[in-house]
Amino acid sequence: MSSKDHAGAGAIADATHSDPFSFLGMHAGGKGEGFVVRAFFPEADGVEIIDSAAGKRVSKMRRVHKEGVFVSHIKGRRERFPYHYRVQHGENLEEAGDPYRFPPAFGELDAHLMAEGTHFESYKRLGAHPWTLEGVDGVCFGVWAPGASRVSVVGSFNRWDGRRHPMRLHPSCGVWEIFIPGIPEGTFYKFEIKSGDGRLLPLKSDPYAFRCERAPRSACIVEGFGSYQWRDAEWMANRHQANRHDAPMAIYEVHMGSWRRCPEEGERFLTYREMADQLVPYVKDMGFTHIELMPINEFPFDGSWGYQPIGLFAPTSRFGAPDDFRAFIDCCHEAGISVILDWVPGHFPEDEHGLAEFDGTHLYEHSDPRQGRHMDWGTLIYNYGRAEVANFLLSNALFWLERYHIDGLRVDAVASMLYLDYSREDGQWIPNAHGGNENLEAITFLKRMNELVYERHPGAFMVAEESTAWPMVSRPTYLGGLGFGYKWNLGWMHDTLRFISKDPAHRQYHQDDITFGLLYAFHENFILPLSHDEVVHGKGSILGRMPGDKWRRFASLRAYYGFMYAHPGKKLMFMGCEFGQEREWAHDESLDWHLLEDKQHKGVQNLMRDLNHLYRNAPALHQRDFDHEGFAWIDCHDHANSVLSFMRRGNDPEDLMVIVCNFTPVVREGYRVGVPSAGFYKECLNTDSSLYGGSNVGNLSGLAAEAEPMHGHPHSLYLTLPPLATLMLRPAGAPAPMSAK
């Protein structure tokens, strides 16, 4: 055995070879001696080289190292040829391809784009891809780990032995890759990584894995993009109509693990396909236009609700396979429902199989905890200034829009990304280059993300959960904004819930809470959220905030929902709120659907259905949500009676809706409200209707305006205001809303 064979064999057996592709596989023998072929098969009793084209044995290999390194010198051949191995284990023979005979699948352009941070389809090269290379089927693996001294693919195909399949390094970009022939889809795998200083790290999950084991197991599963046949071509061509600023947007926020469970089978989760059969018809019947899914990217801990993801490219296996999730999206689109995915680029958990110290260095996160750690959540913060990290996240955002036809991404915890001192005391954060608290790298990332999404997927949209007064969040980047399409109005949520939770007798002293939002309502493209955050951590349910006896609590809730749907801004409601869930949300239990046997809960659900249909079909309630000319106060100063009145207008100047809210349990007879024109005003909605569990006080089908000036208008309505209720009235001459069905 040559000295090269001897030294190389030892390094291969010890998994310390710096360049296994230079040793294993077929290489020129030198001096016209043909070729030398080297292979590593631990525990093999014998190995033969087979000419794959001819199907004949070329030679029997010689063991040169006790751990299973085999060598054969092939003389008389001048041209390389396709080959594979026949490996003997006792009396068993198996055929095995040689990963080390194939050229790189990761090209120079890929390496250049990765290093530059502009490989926005990097998911097509990194991860595990079923591949055909030189006519041979297998899987091409790729992973970014520039600080590693060795990376190996391990899995069920090589007995999780990190010596078997060490990968090829592309030094220019830090990507390791290998094509392993013969591996089928469904194969389990991870990466074994040795750090630059020689430490063998815990096995790592593939950051680009398209499918993972169900937690608490953490192996990745080879999953191609598949041959799923989408049925939503018409939807995709026209979905921009559903997501425009002047379109109705009534969002139903869903946690897939607890919307409904299967009690007949031990309270198991519903599958994606079962959710398609049950959730989608329910949402359609209720009149919601969009479903927003709390994060479904693979995550290890149920109690994080998905907001601490590890497998950003994998829909969680809790509910089925990737194609099952595609079928769910397809079903939504066939029903005319847009799908928003909660997306978490702000942080990631420290689980040892995840991104933390991925290659033995702080690769994805900052090394300094003052920059790289969320103190509140015990999670790590992405290093947005590193081109490859930003590239990873940008590629992921585009992946969901491209490969799963997601219609919108709601970006979680944007404020935590924007501010270097987010939830930190003095001395716990590092100022930026200008001495400020703005995270300039995160800002650049967010702007680029939004630009890419709207450029490449113009029918999709982006939503920011941003809890501060950061300016121009939902304004284009060319105007100096962050570039989001919409922003959650968390201030509105907190202020109005604070108001409605007061005893009706005290609301007169807090009316500014419910009107304050109109001072800034048109500064951003707002979504009004009643989200999951408001029904957890001891806050109780939305219904639980309502004071008084049962009748007053439900009446206040209905009045509040009516006010919400009349207020400028798109709407979002967390599951269960639409029927008055009594208790606080629990992620590990089903919603309390049995409550619908109670007429008050059923009444709230009936109201929500009618609100959604009226909102969708009355342009005055949605067309000019972000235009101050679409809203006008009639009277916001009647604190003594806790009554508010205002108007909403659509694009048609004649399209008008008059809204009056009475936030006390007192019936007010003869309450005069000014209106701009004469004629009959139809009572379109009354939250006190008996259909909704109310007392049925109101104005029957409507009433005529009288020529008596009021509130600066030439006419007025002489109304009966029901107790704890919201009224919506429309002039009979105005454009009629389309059918609610």
CA gap 355, 207 in Å, rounded: 7
Query: If you compute the radius of gyration of the chain from its CA atoms, what whole number of angstroms results?
Result: 31
Q: Is 603 exposed, middle or buried (0-12, 13-18, 19+ CB in 10 A)?
A: buried
> Cβ-count burial of 469 within 10 angstroms (0-12 exposed, 13-18 middle, 19+ buried)?
exposed
Determine contact, residues 318/269, Cβ cutoff 8 Å: yes
Can you say how many angstroms the Cα of residue 701 is from the centroid of all Cα atoms in its chain?
Answer: 44
In sign, the C-alpha dihedral spanning 596, 598, 601, 607 is: positive
- Give the single-character DSSP code of 605: H
Distances (CA, A) of 514 to 291, 499, 500, 643, 685: 27, 6, 8, 11, 21
Q: How many whole angstroms separate alpha carbon 17 and alpha carbon 33?
A: 25
Least Cα distance to 674 among 640, 647, 643, 702 occurs for: 647
Report the candidate in 462, 465, 356 with the shortest Cα–Cα distance to residue 406: 462
Do the beta carbons of residue 382 and residue 393 sit within 8 Å?
yes
Q: Regarding beta strands 338-343 and 408-411, do their DSSP bridges make them parallel or antiparallel, or are they unpaired?
A: parallel
The helix/strand/coil state of 226 is: coil
Q: Catalytic residue among 110, 441, 465, 513, which?
A: 465
**Tokens 């090209």 found at:** 107
From the candidates 388, 407, 412, 625, give the one annotated as an active-site residue: 412
DSSP state of 549: S
How far apart, in whole angstroms, are the C-alpha atoms of residue 200 and residue 248? Answer: 54
Q: Which residues contact 534 (CB under 8 A, 6 or more apart)?
A: 493, 497, 542, 574
**Is residue 357 among the annotated active site residues?**
no
In the block, which residue shows the tokens 């949402």? 283
Catalytic-residue membership of 441:
no
Residue for token pair 């991870």: 190
Active-site positions read 412, 465
